[in-house]
Amino acid sequence: MDLDTSSEISRPPSTFQRVSDRGFRILSLGFAWLTILVVLYIIWEIGSKSTPAMKTYGAGFLTGTTWDPNTGEFGILPEIWGTLYSSILALTIGTVFGVAVAIFLTEGYLGTVVYNTLRLCHLQQHRLFSKAPTACETLLKNLVELLAAIPSVVYGLWGIFVVIPMIRPTCNWLHESFSWIPFLGTPLSGPGMLPAALVLAVMILPTIAAISRDALVSVPPKLREASYGLGATRWETLLAVILPTAAGGIFGAVVLAFGRALGETMALAMLVGNANRISVSLFAPGNTLASLLANNFAEAGGDENKVAVLMFAGLVLMAITLVVNMIGALILQRATRGLKGLN
């Protein structure tokens, strides 16, 4: 049977349409490829600009502790230490609060409280209030997400004018009373590791809370129901069934937050004190790789050696964050795959 191709509705694509279709496909493929090229170009650009410094300083750059542009001696061990130390401190605080927020959101505490309050007033069936428990939970979720929307430079400002003055008396009292503990070995004279880590913890909390919440929500409900059915209390269920099942997802969240904390610049540049030294004291000023770059790049000017050295530091930062982010993404991927068998 012949197809009627004379009608306007059922004609095959015209040559122009075929050519433009081909062109559009190639354009789209081209931009997809361009994404890959952009990533490669970034890595190549930073890598090639730092080769002079790699040749001059070699591995000693990673283990040196002096940073002196006048003598041309450069080492970034204090910065690597500061980056890891501040991020791990922030991660410890952020994980405790972030997972607590995720549990609070998924266990429906707020909804239960609102519902019970309404029931006390016999309003739970009322048209105006019947949606209140869900609305409150959504509001809380959005408030936590709002934390992520505030620019980091504003957190830095808040850290300078609110956090440091607030914690300073307590920190100095701790230092005077327990100065034999290495962590409390120096007084807090202003900027330092602890205020930087506290602000950093606030900044990574939404990441941990959001991804952990996703992990907790995706635990199959029948596991929870089976545990309740066996007579377990809410927290016995959480600790023995739900958290272990969601552990992969939560761990992935923590690793991704670690990646964010390592690369965070502004809040740390404003709060960490920019002192080139290694100290375990929570109150001592330090420095991080990102804030080293932030503070020195603008003045590097035409000094090619200094640019190369800073590019090398940037390359080290990139390598650390890329490895951490990839591990986090892999863990999350495996965690979601592992849950599929349970459904």
Partner 1 sequence: MPELIDAPAPSQSAGSDQPNLNALERSLRKPRTFFSVLLSILATLLTIIALVPLFSVIFMLFYRGGSNLVASNFWNLPPAPFGEGGGFGNALVGTLVMVGIASLISVPFGILAAVFLAELGPFSRTANVVRFCAKLLSGFPSILAGVFAYSAVVLVTGGFSAWAGGIALSILMLPIVILTAEEAIRMVPSKMREASIGMGATHTQTVLRILLPTAMPSILTGVMLAIARAAGETAPLLFTALFSNYWIVTNNQLDLNQPTASMAVLIYNFSGVPFENQVQLCWSASLVLVLMVLVVNLVGKSLSSRAPQR
Judged by DSSP in three states, 188 sits in coil
Task: Please say whether the beta carbons of 282 and 192 come within 8 A.
Answer: yes
The residues, any chain, with a CB within 8 Å of residue 293's CB and separated by 6 or more, are 265, 310, 313, 314, 317
Q: How far apart are CA 283 and CA 191, in angstroms?
A: 8
Task: Please say whether the beta carbons of 237 and 256 come within 8 A.
Answer: no
Q: Which two tokens stand for residue 246?
A: 């969601």
Q: Which is nearer to partner 1, 132 or 157 (CB)?
A: 157
Q: Tell me if 230 contacts partner 1 by CB under 8 A.
A: no
Q: Cβ 312 to partner 1, closest distance in Å?
A: 11
Q: Cβ 9 to partner 1, closest distance in Å?
A: 9
Q: Which is nearer to partner 1, 27 or 342 (CB)?
A: 27
Q: Which two tokens stand for residue 282?
A: 């929570």
Of 54, 84, 97, 275, the residue at the interface with partner 1 (CB under 8 A) is 97
Q: Which is nearer to partner 1, 175 or 250 (CB)?
A: 250
Of 192, 263, 273, 286, the residue at the interface with partner 1 (CB under 8 A) is 263
Beta bridge partners of 68: 73
CB atoms within 10 A of CB 299: 9
Q: How many CA atoms lie within 13 A of 139 on its CB side?
A: 9
Please report, as residue ranges, which positions from 297 to 336 form the binding site for partner 1 (by CB under 8 A). Answer: 297-298, 300, 307, 310-311, 314, 317-318, 321-322, 325-326, 328-329
Q: Cβ 71 to partner 1, closest distance in Å?
A: 24
Total residues contacting partner 1 (rule CB under 8 A)?
A: 88
Q: Is the Cα dihedral 103, 106, 112, 118 positive or negative? A: positive
Dmax over Cα atoms in the chain, in whole Å?
97
Q: Is the Cα dihedral 259, 261, 266, 272 positive or negative? A: negative
Task: Please say whether the beta carbons of 273 and 69 come within 8 A.
Answer: no
Please report, as residue ranges, which positions from 13 to 52 form the binding site for partner 1 (by CB under 8 A). Answer: 13, 17-18, 20-21, 24-25, 27-29, 31-36, 38-39, 41-42, 45-46, 49
Of 109, 129, 130, 172, the residue at the interface with partner 1 (CB under 8 A) is 109
Please report, as residue ranges, which positions from 206 to 225 form the binding site for partner 1 (by CB under 8 A). Answer: 209
CB atoms within 10 A of CB 150: 13
Of 66, 73, 96, 135, the residue at the interface with partner 1 (CB under 8 A) is 96
Q: Which is nearer to partner 1, 54 or 147 (CB)?
A: 147
Q: Cβ 41 to partner 1, closest distance in Å?
A: 8
* Rg of the chain on CA atoms, in Å: 27
Q: What is the pattern of x (binds partner 1, CB under 8 A) and - over residues 145-184?
A: -xx-xxxxxxxxxx-xxx----------------------
Q: Which is nearer to partner 1, 1 or 298 (CB)?
A: 298
